[in-house]
Structure 1
Amino acid sequence: MSTRNRELAALVFVGVVASTAFAATWIASTDAVSADWAVWAGILAGLYLVAHLVARRTVPFADPMLLPLAGLLTALGLTVIYGLDPVDARKQVVWVAIGIGVLVVTLLWLRSDYRILERYKYLFGVSAIVLLLLPSVPGLGERINGVRLWVEVGPIQFQPGELAKVFLIIFLAAYLRDKRESLAQGRLKDLGPLLAIWGAAMLVLVQTSDLGSALLNFGIFLAMLYAATGRALYVGVGLALFVAGAAGIHSALTRVQQRVTVWLHPWTDEKVYCGLNGQFEYRQNCDSYQLVKSLYSIANGGYGGTGLGRGTFETLDGTPLIPYLSTDFVYSAIAQELGLVGAAGVLLVYLVLVARGMRISLVAQDGFSKLLAAGLTFGLALQTFIIVGGVLRVVPLTGITLPFVSYGGSSILSNFVVLALLMLVSNRAVAAQRR
């Protein structure tokens, strides 16, 4: 069976699983058995069929599991989001359609040679900083929950940091490919332009209080630097700088202190000062309310879950139990409805996707392709760890999205760009091997 036929077979299997899951959610939400859910399933299947046909023409040798794995995750996200809010699910379908459109455009644009991106590394680096600065522009950026992540232009609201992350990875892959030998020899002068752009990006992130993205991008930077040079010393110095910076930020920013306190002590037996209303409350009823309710949601799922569409996420009067459930805390909804077994299965899907991405990096023929695939894949893995770890209280909670699953257009679009680039690298590597 050819590579693309294996991809089609996997997509059909994913379609069957996703359709069954969405039908269960539809029936549970409407309390009626009907075939209306098939329209949604047909739309999503049609979108991925278009993506498959374009991939068959543009990247015939690309890894056949990347697109089906992304399809499984987006279908799971749509299913859970529909059970939470059908209006948001309709919007998410539109974003998935646009994301697949971006995937198609990227494949068609770069099918001849994606390595042309390497020529414009400094443009990508500067553009990433500009994108990160946009939320700080008065009248353009919007502060939500104490964080400047969003830019609002008329009816359109987007998060430029998601695209900036991809631009930074392209810049790092190109620059490290050029300087990897001198960096491996310890020539610190070659770190100048790299640290200048990276330091500016990190300062912008701290200024906007988007510490989740700062942690994500810093981790990607260290991983790619180690992959390029093989020197653990750089990682050690980077971790030391991170610890020192984290301590300084913790001392300077009240919001970071609050996040760490909520992480370490989400429950209190005595009432403490609540900054939200200026009164004394139990912390689980104030600052850690969202995290505590999320942990209760996960515990309610048990081993087997409550069933798709049958989770309890609202009070009797319709008030949401967990604010921003479909974005930051979608994993807690998955854990309640699918249980420990299903939630672990979702993580296994991410593990398979990361393993395929790292394999692409290993078989790539040139330094830029290796670093690009490694950076994109590690970014996907670290982002998943940060948000799932935050929800499970393994690490402090940060407001980033679960790739391909969480509600939000900016995240969906950037994830499909990442997917397209991985498919392009994979196609070139396998084609070179066959020649």
Structure 2
Amino acid sequence: MATIVSYTARPRRIIQAVLLAFAVIIGVGAYALVSLGRFDELPEDLMRYGIGVTVLALVLQVVVMWRTPYADPVILPLVVLLNLLGVAMIDSVHAANEIYGLRTSAGADRQMLWAIVGVLLCVAVIVLLRDHRWLRRYTWISAVVGAILLLMPLVPGLGSARNGSRIWISIAGNSFQPAELAKIAFAIFFAGYLVSRRDTLALAGPKVLGIHLPRWSDFGPILVAWGFAMAVLVFQTDLGTSLMFFGLFVVMLYVATDRLSWLVIGAVMFLPPAVFAATQMSHVRTRITCWLDPLASENFANCGQINQGLFGLANGGLTGAGLGEGRPDVVPHAESDFIFTSFAEELGMVGAFALLLAYLLLVQRAVRAAVGISDGFGTLLAGGLGFVVALQVFVVVGGVTRVIPLTGLTLPFLAAGGSSLVCNWIIAGILVRLSDAARRPAARQVPGASAPGSAGRPSSEVPA
């Protein structure tokens, strides 16, 4: 006879509370150091800022204890830390611009307002999404919503172009980048679609150069995804967003089928459009020129942003100029596209690598959740969302350090911008729910054990 034995996992909420406290202390401390560096005095709103941030952290802690007690204890502290460091650096850039009489960038107050909205939406996701598998019911609805969001900037009178790319919409005087929300919708769609067709897509087809290619009849989905990505590239002239969505589909396809050939096919299919963009789109061609040789005399005038960013990186050295002691005002868009350069200048190589380590831990936790979830939909969704964060970090940091050409993506949780910050907080909420499903203990059958309710019933306790 067998009985169901309940295994009790350790929720580790105390660890999360301690990590959240450290994140708040570091974030508020960075905010204070920026003001000390710029003005030799503490900010007037330091007490209000500290109390507000503490309240937000407490809300997150209570909600997680209530709804997702077995969630990964590291995800939210990492997100809070990155968000608060971003607010501190945006405040540093804003203060530098005011001191040196330059254009006034978006201030820390506005970014903090968006952070509050993001936290509230993250809480809503954790509370309302009781089971991540519910999202699978909306697979095709997510596809339609994602497509509408991605194409909204093409609507006359609604979309607007910036820096050569048409990826923004304006509503009541406020700008929003719908692609940030579309990436969540498409991740849900790809996960739901691929989990129902993974067996078919995993079947081997012809063998070329030692690689088993998929069957020709299975190329339909990737051709559709490729065509949609190309539409974004041609009509919105945005190589970064096109790469993100096509890369998301190809990587999730690889995770679903475990076939390396899909990655090779994806890379080969994206190469011709990339060449087209490099040769036919002027702003993309300029970015490639600045990537290859920005300091050349004939390129220097057109590559001012990347050059100033490189000078800022060099000025930071090993340990940095100090918070509030740098000159981010000389770098265009230092609070958004080039915020990593601002961090590297004021915190040095040590601080820059610490930021990258924080992102690496966040992606690792997403992958860990993907591995631990028992259902295929959750595995694909967690892996896809983790890949989106990793790709954005690689593309942005690679662009400002000249590893790859610049693109229009933003650094998650750090860069100024409401649409990016809010949507990444939603991703954090989904990852918390997925990690709870991955770590939640399941009942197991023990052969030969007594029936439930009988005396001498065995029990054991193992960590999650």
TM more than 0.5: yes
Q: Deviations over 1:12-49 (max 9, x none)?
A: 11122222222111222232246642321221221121
Closer, same or farther: CA 205–120 of 1 in aligned 2, 3 Å? farther
Match of 1:26 in 2: 35
Q: Decide whether aligned partners of structure 1 residues 44 and 191 sit closer, same or farther in structure 2, where only a CA change above 3 A counts.
A: farther
What are structure 2's unaligned runs of at least 5 residues? 1-9, 96-105, 204-213, 445-464
The reply on whether 1:237 has 2:265 as its aligned counterpart is yes
Contact 2:11 2:71 in 1 (8 A): no
Counterparts of 2:375 and 2:230 in 1: how far apart (Å)?
29
| Residue of structure 2 aligned with 1:360, choices 369, 375, 389 | 369
Distance 2:221 2:254 in 1: 17
Q: Residue type of the partner of 1:109? A: L
Bigger Cα Rg: 2
Preserved CA contact (<8 Å) 2:180 2:419: yes
State how far apart, in whole Å, the 1-side matches of 2:233 and 2:442 are: 41
Give the residue type in structure 1 aligned to 2:151.
L
Q: Within 5 Å, which residues of 2 pair with 1:13-412? A: 13-33=22-42, 36-85=45-94, 88-111=107-130, 113-185=131-203, 186-193=214-221, 195-197=223-225, 199-269=227-297, 272=298, 283-285=299-301, 287-314=302-329, 321-412=330-421
CA distance in 2, matches of 1:88, 1:160: 22
Point out the structure with the larger helix share: 1
Tell me the secondary structure at the aligned position of residue 85 of structure 1. Answer: helix
Q: Please say which of residues 135-144 and 198-207 is displaced more in the overlay.
A: 198-207
Whole-Å separation in 2 of the counterparts to 1:432 and 1:249: 50
Contact 1:115 1:368 in 2 (8 A): yes
Q: Provide the rounded CA distance (Å) in 1 between the counterparts of 2:259 and 2:223.
A: 17
> Could you say if the C-alpha distance between residues 340 and 193 of structure 1 is closer, same or farther in structure 2, counting changes exceeding 3 Å?
closer
CA separation in 2, counterparts of 1:51 and 1:141? Answer: 35
1:243 and 1:382 map into 2 onto residues whose CA distance is 17
Q: Note the alpha carbon deviations across 1:58-95, whole angstroms, 9 max, x for none.
A: 11110010000001100110111111116510000000
Percent of aligned pairs with the same amino acid: 39
Partner of residue 456, structure 2: none
How big is each residue's C-alpha offset from its partner over 1:211-236, in whole Å with a ceiling of 9 and x where there is no partner? 11111222222211111111111111
Q: Secondary structure at the match of 1:267?
A: coil
Distance of aligned partners of 1:14 and 1:434 in 2 relative to their CA distance in 1, 3 Å threshold: farther
1:138 and 1:267, CA in 2 relative to 1: closer, same or farther beyond 3 A?
same
Check conservation: 1:175, 1:194, Cα contact below 8 A.
Answer: no
Runs of 4+ in 1 over 6 A off after TM superposition: none
Determine if contact 1:129/1:204 at 8 Å carries over to the other structure: no
Q: In structure 1, how many angstroms separate the alpha carbons of the residues matched to 2:369 and 2:343?
A: 29
Which AA in structure 1 matches 2:425?
F
Which string of whole-angstrom CA distances, capped at 9 and with x for unpartnered residues, describes residues 220-275 of structure 1? Answer: 22211111111111111111111122122323222222211111011223xx4xxx
Show the counterpart of 2:449.
none
Question: Separation in 2 of the partners of 1:120 and 1:190?
Answer: 23
Report the count of equivalent residues: 415
Matched, 1:423 2:432: yes
- Structure 1: any 5+ residue segments left out of the alignment? 273-282, 315-320
How far apart, in 2, do the equivalents of 1:199 and 1:73 lie?
35
What is the one-letter code of the residue matched to 1:135?
P
